[in-house]
Structure 1
Amino acid sequence: MSALEVKDLWVKYYTFSGIVSAVSGVSFNLRKGEMLAVVGESGSGKSTLGLALLNMVPKPGKIVKGEVLLGGVNVLKLTPEEIRKIRGSRLSMVFQDPFTTLDPLRKIVDQFEEFLLEHGFDKSKSRSIVKEYLEAVGLPERIMYSYPHQLSGGQKQRVSIAMAIALNPEVIIADEPTTALDVVVQKQIMDLIDYIKGKYGSSIILITHDLALALERADTVMVMYGGYIMEYADKKELLNNMKHPYTKALFEALPRITTGKL
Structure 2
Amino acid sequence: MSSTPASGTPLLSVRDLKMHFPIKNTDGLFARKQVVQAVDGVSFDLGKGQTLGLVGESGCGKSTLGRAITRLYQPTSGQVLFEGTDLAGLPEKRMRPFRRELQMVFQDPYSSLNPRQTVGSIISTPLQVHGLAKGKEIQRVQELLERVGLNPEHHNRYPNEFSGGQRQRIGIARALAVEPQVIVADEPVSALDVSIQAQVMNLMEELRRDLGIAFVFIAHDLGVVRHFCDRVAVMYLGKMVEVGDREQVYTAPQHPYTQALLSAVPDLGAVRGVPPRERIRLAGDVPSPINPPSGCRFRTRCWKAQDICASQEPPLESKAEAGAGHSIACHFPEVKESLVAEASA
Q: Same fold (TM over 0.5)?
A: yes
Q: Deviations over 1:34-73 (max 9, x none)?
A: 011000111000000000001112xxxx622100000111
CA distance in 1, matches of 2:142, 2:224: 30
Report the counterpart of residue 166 of structure 2 in structure 1: 155
Q: 1:21 aligns with which of 31, 37, 60?
A: 37
- 4+ runs of 1 displaced by more than 6 Å? none
Worse-matched range after superposition: 28-37 or 207-216: 207-216
Deviation at 1:99, TM superposition (A): 4.0
Deviation at 1:146, TM superposition (A): 1.0
Q: 2:95 aligns with which of 43, 67, 83?
A: 83
Is residue 2:54 matched to residue 1:42? no
Aligned partner of residue 76 in structure 2, secondary structure: strand
Q: 2:226 aligns with which of 215, 229, 246?
A: 215
1:67 maps to amino acid: Q
Is residue 2:114 matched to residue 1:106? no
* Contact 2:12 2:47 (8 Å CA) reproduced: yes
Report the counterpart of residue 70 of structure 1 in structure 2: 82
CA distance in 1, matches of 2:65, 2:231: 16
Aligned pair count? 255
1:64 maps to amino acid: T
Deviation at 1:80, TM superposition (A): 1.2
CA distance in 2, matches of 1:33, 1:122: 25
Higher-RCO chain (CA-CA 8 Å, sequence separation at least 6): 1
Q: 1:2 aligns with which of 6, 10, 13?
A: 10
* Contact 2:126 2:177 (8 Å CA) reproduced: no
Q: Deviations over 1:209-240 (max 9, x none)?
A: 11121112110000001001011000111123
Is residue 2:48 matched to residue 1:32? yes
Report the counterpart of residue 12 of structure 1 in structure 2: 20
Considering fraction of residues, name the structure with more strand: 1
Aligned partner of residue 7 in structure 1, secondary structure: strand
Report the counterpart of residue 245 of structure 1 in structure 2: 256
Deviation at 1:157, TM superposition (A): 0.3
CA distance in 2, matches of 1:112, 1:154: 16
Report the counterpart of residue 170 of structure 1 in structure 2: 181
> Which blocks of at least 5 consecutive residues in structure 2 are unaligned?
1-8, 26-33, 274-345
Aligned partner of residue 254 in structure 1, secondary structure: coil
1:76 maps to amino acid: A
Aligned partner of residue 88 in structure 2, secondary structure: helix
Report the counterpart of residue 30 of structure 2 in structure 1: none
Worse-matched range after superposition: 203-212 or 78-87: 78-87
Q: TM-score, normalised by structure 1?
A: 0.93
Answer with 1 or 2: which has the greater Rg: 2
CA distance in 2, matches of 1:122, 1:234: 39
* Contact 2:124 2:174 (8 Å CA) reproduced: no
Worse-matched range after superposition: 135-144 or 115-124: 115-124
CA distance in 2, matches of 1:122, 1:157: 23
> Which blocks of at least 5 consecutive residues in structure 1 are unaligned?
none
Aligned partner of residue 103 in structure 1, secondary structure: coil
Aligned partner of residue 98 in structure 1, secondary structure: coil
Aligned partner of residue 76 in structure 1, secondary structure: coil
Q: Deviations over 1:2-59 (max 9, x none)?
A: 11000000111111373111111100000111011000111000000000001112xx
* Contact 2:115 2:160 (8 Å CA) reproduced: yes
CA distance in 2, matches of 1:198, 1:211: 21
CA distance in 1, matches of 2:40, 2:140: 41
Q: TM-score, normalised by structure 2?
A: 0.71
